[in-house]
Structure 1
C-alpha cells in the first residue's frame, strides 16, 4: 500500500495527523492548555481509559462498551472520564478539540524500541502532570487499561505521588488472557468479555462499598 501522507507534513491527504502524536507540538500545546488553563470540574470518581483509533473517542465501539458498563453502575454526576494514551491526557468532554479528533496512529503496530521508550517517558510525565493538577479534585481514581498505557499510568501515579484506588483488569485476569494465547495482541482487547465482566463486577463492589460507608 502506498504512503498517503503529504511529504514533510506528517499528515494524510484527508488532513489527519499520522506521525506519532506524542512527538507533535499540536499535542504538547493542547496538553499545556489542559494543565495550565482548563478548569476541571471536581467529581467523586475519575475513570481513566485509553484513547481509541476511532474519533471522537466516544464513537469507538470499545469506548461505547466501557461507557455502557460505567453508566449501568454509577450515576453521571459521580464520575469524570479522562482519556489518555498516545494523545497525552484529556478530559473526555474535550475529545473533539483539536488535535484530539484529528489524528490516526496505532502504537500497537510500532516495533521501534526508541519510539516505544519515548512514548512511555513522555506519557508518564503527562499523566503525572494531570494527576498533580487534579490532586484535590477527585476523591477516587479508577483506571481501565493494559499494555504500555498501563505502564505509563502506573509510573505517572508513582511520579506524582497520587495513587489509583483501582487499576483494572487485574493482573490475574490479564495473565489468564495471555495464557489462553488466542488474541491478536498478547494481552487482548479491553472490549473482551472477560475484561468487561471483571470491570463491571469490581465497579459494583466499589460502588456498594461507598454506599455502605455512607460516602456517596
Structure 2
C-alpha cells in the first residue's frame, strides 16, 4: 500500500496537486454515480480512510439511525475535492495527510477556497438531476466554499447545518477552532433532526 510517508509530496496541500485534480476529473467525467433521493456532503478527515475517523464514525451511526442505505449518496469534500464515500480508499484519497485548520497562511487558505468552490460547483452542476434533495454538514472554510459553490452553480441545498444560530451560540473566539467541532452533541442533534425531516 502507498502511504503519505512513502510519498512525501502527499504531505503538501492536496488541493494544489495534479493527482487530486485528475481524480476529481475521473469522478466528474467517468465515474457512474447513481440517482438517490438525497445527497449528503460532509467534510474530509485527517484519519484515512475517512470512515475510520472518530467524527465520521459518529456521522455514519447517525445516518444509520435516520436513513436507509439506498436513500442517500454520501459525499466527502474539502481539501480532497469531492469524493463519493465508496471511493475513500482510492488513490490519492487514502494517501495524504493534511489539516487545513492548522494552516494560517492566508494565501493558501484563499487558494483552497477558490479551488474547492470550483470543484464543488462543477460537481453540483454535473449531478444536478441525480438527487432530489441535498444536505451539507460543515463549518469554517468548508462551509464558505459550499455556500459559494451553490451561488456559482445555481444548484440549491435543501439543508445546511449546523444552523447559523447554533454556530453563533457555541462560538468562542478564544478557542483555536472558534466554531467548535462537528462532533459536538448540539450540532449532531441538529443534523439528526434535519435529516429526519428531509427523509419524511
Question: Into which bin does the TM-score normalised by the smaller protein fall?
Answer: over 0.9
Could you say what secondary structure the match of 1:65 adopts?
Answer: helix
Q: Tell me, in whole angstroms, the C-alpha distance in 2 between the residues paired with 1:90 and 1:198.
A: 24
Q: Which residue of 185, 188, 191 maps to 1:193?
A: 185
Shift of 1:183: 4.5
Q: Tell me, in whole angstroms, the C-alpha distance in 2 between the residues paired with 1:28 and 1:34.
A: 10
Task: Report the counterpart of residue 60 of structure 2 in structure 1.
Answer: 67
For normalisation by structure 2, the TM-score amounts to: 0.94
The gaps in structure 1 that reach 5 residues or longer are 1-10, 209-216
Correspondence 1:108 to 2:64: no
Could you say what secondary structure the match of 2:11 adopts?
Answer: coil
The number of equivalent residue pairs is 197
Q: Which residue of 138, 142, 152 maps to 2:135?
A: 142
The gaps in structure 2 that reach 5 residues or longer are none
Query: Is contact 2:103–2:109 with CA below 8 Å preserved after alignment?
Result: yes
Correspondence 1:26 to 2:19: yes
Could you say what secondary structure the match of 1:46 adopts?
Answer: strand
Task: Report the counterpart of residue 128 of structure 1 in structure 2.
Answer: 121
Could you say what secondary structure the match of 2:107 adopts?
Answer: helix
For normalisation by structure 1, the TM-score amounts to: 0.88
Shift of 1:14: 3.4
Residues 17-69 of structure 1: CA deviation (Å, up to 9, x unaligned): 10000000000110111111111111000000000000000111100101111
Q: Rg bigger for which structure?
A: 1
Q: Classify 1:12/1:206 alpha carbon distance in 2 versus 1 (closer, same or farther; 3 Å).
A: closer
Q: Tell me, in whole angstroms, the C-alpha distance in 1 between the residues paired with 2:198 and 2:132.
A: 13
How much is the aligned-residue C-alpha RMSD, in angstroms?
Answer: 1.4
Correspondence 1:44 to 2:37: yes
Q: Classify 1:24/1:197 alpha carbon distance in 2 versus 1 (closer, same or farther; 3 Å).
A: same
Q: Classify 1:135/1:14 alpha carbon distance in 2 versus 1 (closer, same or farther; 3 Å).
A: same
Q: Tell me, in whole angstroms, the C-alpha distance in 2 between the residues paired with 1:33 and 1:172.
A: 38
Task: Report the counterpart of residue 6 of structure 2 in structure 1.
Answer: 14
Residues 124-166 of structure 1: CA deviation (Å, up to 9, x unaligned): 0000011011000000000000000000011111111100000
